[in-house]
Amino acid sequence: MIKWLEYRNSNSKDIVKRSEGESVRILGWVSSKRVHKDKIFLSIRDRYGYLQIVATPEESSDNIFNLAKTIPVESAIAAEGIVKHDPRAPNGVELRLKDLIVISKADIWPVTKSALKSPELMYDKRHLTIRGPRSRAILLIRSGVIKAAMEYFEKNDYVLINAPTFITSAVEGGATLFKLKYFDDYAYLTQSSQFYEEAAICVFEKVYVIQPSFRAEKSRTRRHLTEFWHIEAEAAFADHDDIMKVEEELVSYMLNYLNEHYSGEIKTVKKSGIKIYEPPFPRISYDEALEILHSKGVEMEWGEDFGADEERVLSMQFDTPFFVYGYPASTRSFYHMNDPDRPEVTLSSDLMAPDGYGEITSGGQRIHDYNELYNKIISFGLDPSQYEWYLEIRKYGMPPHAGFGLGVERFMRWILELPHIRDATLFPRTPSRVYP
Ligand code: AMO
């Protein structure tokens, strides 16, 4: 068995610092191969990126040259070679091959050129196609999105909590609940960790979660997953305006962070890079949004919710993210506080991405008074006994509070202009896909 460390004294990132003529070893995968008569180019992928390795009959022994020629792509290898700085090489440096060990030989790569044209086939082979440079870059950026959010919340004194996945009652309406057998009873998969955050703010004042939420949304759109990652935050002694400020600050922080730390990956996905927006973002009321929609020929009544089509039309009118606030109570879940000055609307908002992308966050101020919440639950035709513990926290010192949720994949689809939300996640879950 190979002693791994002995076979990794360099990597695709470190190699640029190595001197001309130095002999180094790396571990990785053959991501592509070009065979010429007297030169073989292997592109090796490792944790850090790509490195060009060149085999020639002069510099490699016959055995090694032939091995380089015949090695199937995606084989895992250990290679040793001589560093050569060459401006024509992808990173300005390449390895001239001396030794090659096949650690795990790959079968013939099953994703053919014709499969590349079929998104469904590509996603059937997602366990393999994630190895491509575009998926690799998107997934790295995704890890940056999570890191950026954590950094923002930690800098602002929020406490990270973890909420349960099995739950007993709907946060965002029964229509999108996944129901499952839970021993002799039933449980649901969580749609949002918001209620658990609300319990936790009475300990920590400001909390956040980053974990999956589940929605049994049958809608097959480019912006819906059945399992998505949810960045949620909740703050005590805060109102609706306070939480909108947190949302715009967070979005701006994430954009700046990604631009600073992931510019290479971003360029792989989107040549022009991502746009940076600084707060404050414009705020328009639901009523103003409706007027804009009417002026664009969209027919809808006051009190109806904006669907994907309406959001697209609306967000085409903006070239920066913007809030729509003051949604009618009929369009929002029961927990939203009604505006005391205008009870038919709620103290809530959605942050819309511009250029047709639509909603990326949703948030607002919650009802903190026991009786007010109880009555709203009844007025929504819901059963208060389903919300017993959620109501009970209102009996023991619940201050005014507000919070929001941001979908990681929605955010990524917008900033990277991805054709479909599934491209933003490792193994997407949609109504028609729970495999692989
Ligand atoms: P909402 O249901 O609007 O609100 O969800 C908040 C954010 O989560 C993302 N999102 C989704 N992403 C991908 N696929 C889906 N099916 C999906 N559904 C939602 C969106 C959306 O803006 N608890 C409330 C928020 C709050 O008031 O705190 C909630 O979950 O980016």
Share of the chain above pLDDT 70, in %: 100
Ligand 1 neighbourhood includes 195 CB (under 6 angstroms): no
pLDDT at res. 231: 99
Residue 192 alpha carbon, nearest atom of ligand 1: 30
Distance CA 136, CA 160 (A): 27
Least confident of 58-62, 185-189, 220-224, 388-392: 220-224
Distance CA 385, CA 400 (A): 23
Q: Whole-prediction pTM value?
A: 0.97
How close is the Cα of 258 to the center of ligand 1, in Å?
22
Contacts of 148 (CB under 8 A, 6+ apart): 253, 254, 257, 258
CB atoms within 10 A of CB 10: 22
> What is the SS3 assignment for 293?
helix
pLDDT at res. 40: 98
Please, where in the chain does CATH 2.40.50.140 lie?
4-104
pLDDT in tens, 144-181: 999 999 999 999 999 999 999 999 988 888 889 999 99
Mean pLDDT rounded to a whole number for the chain: 96
Ligand 1 neighbourhood includes 197 CB (under 6 angstroms): no
Share of the chain above pLDDT 90, in %: 92
Distance CA 345, CA 105 (A): 63
How close is the Cα of 363 to the center of ligand 1, in Å?
9
Ligand 1 neighbourhood includes 428 CB (under 6 angstroms): no
pLDDT at res. 2: 74
Distance CA 262, CA 431 (A): 32
Distance CA 181, CA 246 (A): 38
pLDDT in tens, 26-84: 999 999 999 999 999 999 999 999 999 999 999 999 999 999 999 999 999 999 999 99
pLDDT at res. 4: 84
pLDDT at res. 172: 87
- In the predicted model, what is the mean pLDDT of residues 247-251? 99
Are β-strands 40-46 and 23-35 bridged in parallel, bridged antiparallel, or unpaired? antiparallel
Structure tokens at 402: 């507000």
Ligand 1 neighbourhood includes 364 CB (under 6 angstroms): yes
Least confident of 28-37, 152-161, 219-228, 398-407: 219-228
- In the predicted model, what is the mean pLDDT of residues 281-307? 97
pLDDT at res. 379: 97
pLDDT in tens, 181-216: 999 999 999 999 999 999 999 999 999 999 999 999
Ligand 1 neighbourhood includes 346 CB (under 6 angstroms): no
How close is the Cα of 385 to the center of ligand 1, in Å?
25
Distance CA 150, CA 148 (A): 5
Q: How many CA atoms lie within 13 Å of 45's alpha carbon, on the beta-carbon side? A: 16
Nearest alpha carbon, ligand 1 atom 16: 224
Ligand 1 neighbourhood includes 361 CB (under 6 angstroms): yes
Q: What angle do CA 247, 360, 350 make, to 5 degrees?
A: 65
Distance CA 227, CA 141 (A): 19
- Residue type, position 180, single letter: L
Please, where in the chain does CATH 3.30.930.10 lie?
124-424
pLDDT at res. 171: 85
pLDDT at res. 357: 96
The residue to which tokens 């400020």 are assigned = 245
Mutation test residue for ligand 1: of 208, 230, 254, the one with most atoms within 8 Å of CB: 230
Nearest alpha carbon, ligand 1 atom 8: 407
The residue to which tokens 């009929």 are assigned = 330
pLDDT at res. 239: 98
pLDDT at res. 112: 85
How close is the Cα of 224 to the center of ligand 1, in Å?
10
Residue 1 has pLDDT above 80, yes or no: no
For 412, phi then psi, to 5°, come to: -65, -40
Q: Does domain 4-104 have CATH number 2.40.50.140?
A: yes
Distance CA 24, CA 10 (A): 6
For 114, phi then psi, to 5°, come to: -70, -35
- Residue type, position 107, single letter: D
CB atoms within 10 A of CB 302: 10
pLDDT at res. 220: 81
pLDDT in tens, 105-121: 999 999 988 888 888 89
Task: Of 77, 84, 27, give the one whose Cα is nearest residue 54.
Answer: 84
- In the predicted model, what is the mean pLDDT of residues 321-348? 97
Least confident of 120-124, 207-211, 371-375: 120-124
Ligand 1 neighbourhood includes 332 CB (under 6 angstroms): no
- Topology (CATH level 3) of domain 124-424: BirA Bifunctional Protein; domain 2 (3.30.930)
Distance CA 211, CA 241 (A): 25
> What is the SS3 assignment for 69?
helix
pLDDT at res. 119: 87
Ligand 1 neighbourhood includes 358 CB (under 6 angstroms): no
